[in-house]
Chains A and B, each alone.
Chain A
Amino acid sequence: MTVIAPVPPKAGYPRFGEVLSGEPVRASTWTDAANSILNSLGSTNIFVPFFSPALDIPPVSTRTLRFQYTPNGRATQIRWIYWLDDGTGTGDLPTRLARTVKLLVKSSTTTTIAFSYSNTTTNTQRIVAIMGYEDTMRVLEDIDLGVKPATYQIREPIAGVPYESIGGLFESATAKFRRYYLNHSDSDATDSFWKTSTTTLASIAIKDGVILTRKRYPTSVYGSTQWRVRAAVDNLNYGGRVKITNTVANIVNYLVLPNTSFAVIGTFYSFDVPRSFTWSKVGSATATLTRNNHGFTTGDNIYVDSTTSTVEVPLGVYSVTSTGTNTITINTGVIGTATGTCTNDMQFGCEDYTDPAGLPGGSTQFYTVNYASENAAGTFYLSNVACEEVI
């Protein structure tokens, strides 16, 4: 179906009330809606916010940065913006360059993407900084879940062509849109790791980083976060651990990786920081939370953000008593006998629209990432720390 309609003079945006009951929908209104999607929904998930890896690349060699994120399944291409110091010693500011890569697989599952740079010169070059975002594709394929601005169907009021029509726009708009809070990476090469051989938790090259989560619902106070790392070891007898801390709320979570987590020396594996526990109560207010290798120590604070029974295990912050490698206890304040599951989170505050700057409680939310080796005889490596919204 083709409908002749006035060509809008410029890209516009539909306003509340623009579509009136009893009146036909102007094609330009739908076009405006399409433009709104394209400019606010359909483009540019920034899955690698700007950061500085300060990654040196020796002459005639290649280095690869790997990032983890969960795409929303739309057709997209990746736009890398990176800042390069060419090593010529001129003292100039790093050069800003760009590279676009089309993703061949439209995926909505967590994936790892790579950015490689080959230094063909005789100078040591440096990736000073990098950021990556989705870029709207100029031409979509029929199987693409997205918006196709290169066809006239987009301007029809309602069309039955999937993925290319206004109906396709709505389908596109139902994709899950996350906010990607951070995505830091170091090279997989042996001279570039975040690495440690000490068993005491130490900071990686992130300190007082900022997390401000998205306010999804009117009643939201916090936003859930999923943290991920890529890790490796040089000794298959020993693993390592990672500790994430919300330094404002004093809430922690751990990723403990025993040696069995690694099969090959020097090979990086992707891990999600776990968020789930099972719990049980037997005639008391004390709930025993169970997760293999939970990592918590007595005195840590845990934030329970969801549970199968808010009566038996109310949501909130608890001080933890570690009772074993796989178990901790918390005082729920409610005597009972029950079992269930719960999740823990980092309690990062979300935007507060009542605050002039939108900050929860008027203050900035900070995080730190620490890591340690399981044994001094083994070196524990990280090459990626990522955090994205849970939806």
Chain B
Amino acid sequence: MTFGKKAQYEGEILNVFGAPPTATTLVDQPMRMSRSNYLVNNINHISDQRSQVVANWSFGATNRGLSTNFRAAPSTGGDPNGAIVRLVYQARLDPDGIPYPIRVMVQGYTTGTSIIRVRAYRSFSEIHLTDSFTSASATWQNFSGVNYKLIKFSTALEPDGFVTSYDTISSTILNTVPSARQEIVIEDAAATGRGLNIAPILVLSGLYIAEYVGDP
């Protein structure tokens, strides 16, 4: 993503380069190309700023706020146990249609040694974020030495169902809206390092996921 000559402030869309504050004043008037250029790139820039926090949950020190529901069943095998939690959100997209990267932090504890894995479902094959940990208390876990990790996407998302049904301009009503849904899966993966008799339990106790508009 490049910022190029894009306007730096949201206010510029109206106050400096933008359209009049009411759409009706445009009516059927032509627009200068330079102005339309600014407008389009303002949109791009505002879009670039529009990242959202998907998850913000951190278990506290009291007996509330922690659920053991988001857990992996004890396992001693070598295969993943499956999803602990699946999140669905509508992704914001780069101009090329690729979802913004997401920053992920995972908090959990385990009774033994567990591996936690994060996938982005729409790009399921390309995302594997794993961490092996042994913490018995609810703490943010480290992925490769840091407790956050950026997941970058490389597959463009087609907004679902946006152009499914119109064939002439004047008569067709679109009954669907764009939906660039992205699914994030937190799952537990078994590992060979697990004991065969003492199967650990993994409990998810916190999660932070936020879209990132930068281009790491």
User: Which A residues lie at the B interface, using CB under 8 A?
Assistant: 1-5, 7-23, 25, 29, 33, 35-41, 43-46, 49-54, 81, 83, 85, 91, 93-94, 96, 126, 128-129, 131, 133, 135-138, 149-152, 155, 158-163, 165, 167-168, 170-171, 173-174, 177, 179-182, 184, 186, 194, 202-210, 212, 214-218, 351, 353, 356-359, 364
Q: State A202–B103 Cα separation when bound (angstroms).
A: 30
CB atoms of A162 and B4 under 8 A apart: no
B165 → chain A closest CB, angstroms: 10
A372 → chain B closest CB, angstroms: 14
CB-contact partner of A38 in B34, B175, B177, B215, under 8 A: B177
CB-contact partner of A203 in B19, B61, B73, under 8 A: B61
CB atoms of B162 and A35 under 8 A apart: yes
A158 → chain B closest CB, angstroms: 5
Task: Count contacts on B: residues with CB < 8 A to the other chain.
Answer: 104
A150 → chain B closest CB, angstroms: 5
**B163 to chain A: which residues have CB within 8 Å?**
7-11
Q: State A199–B31 Cα separation when bound (angstroms).
A: 64
**B167 to chain A: which residues have CB within 8 Å?**
7
Within 8 A of A (CB), among B70-93: 70, 73, 83-90, 92-93
CB-contact partner of A36 in B88, B95, B171, under 8 A: B95
CB atoms of B66 and A36 under 8 A apart: no
Within 8 A of A (CB), among B158-216: 158-159, 162-163, 166-167, 169-180, 206-210, 212-216
**A18 to chain B: which residues have CB within 8 Å?**
40
Q: Is the C-beta of B155 less than 8 angstroms from some C-beta in chain A?
A: no
Within 8 A of A (CB), among B1-59: 2, 4-6, 8-10, 13-14, 18-19, 21-24, 26-31, 33-34, 36-37, 39-44, 46-59
**A184 to chain B: which residues have CB within 8 Å?**
57, 65
B9 to chain A: closest residue by CB: A217
Q: Is the C-beta of B105 less than 8 angstroms from some C-beta in chain A?
A: yes
Please list the 8 inter-chain residue pairs (A to B) with the smallest Cβ-Cβ separation, ordered nearest first. A205-B65, A167-B23, A40-B47, A50-B55, A51-B57, A205-B60, A54-B67, A160-B27
**A138 to chain B: which residues have CB within 8 Å?**
175-177
A37 to chain B: closest residue by CB: B43
B152 → chain A closest CB, angstroms: 11
Q: State A363–B18 Cα separation when bound (angstroms).
A: 37
CB atoms of B53 and A150 under 8 A apart: no
Q: State A35–B18 Cα separation when bound (angstroms).
A: 19
CB atoms of B169 and A2 under 8 A apart: yes
Q: Is the C-beta of B125 less than 8 angstroms from some C-beta in chain A?
A: no
Q: State A138–B177 Cα separation when bound (angstroms).
A: 6
**B166 to chain A: which residues have CB within 8 Å?**
7, 152
**B61 to chain A: which residues have CB within 8 Å?**
203, 205, 207
Q: State A155–B166 Cα separation when bound (angstroms).
A: 11
Q: State A131–B209 Cα separation when bound (angstroms).
A: 12
CB atoms of B158 and A14 under 8 A apart: no
**A203 to chain B: which residues have CB within 8 Å?**
60-62
**B18 to chain A: which residues have CB within 8 Å?**
170, 174
CB atoms of B50 and A40 under 8 A apart: yes
Given contacts A14-B95, A41-B47, A216-B49, contact A207 B58 (CB under 8 A): yes
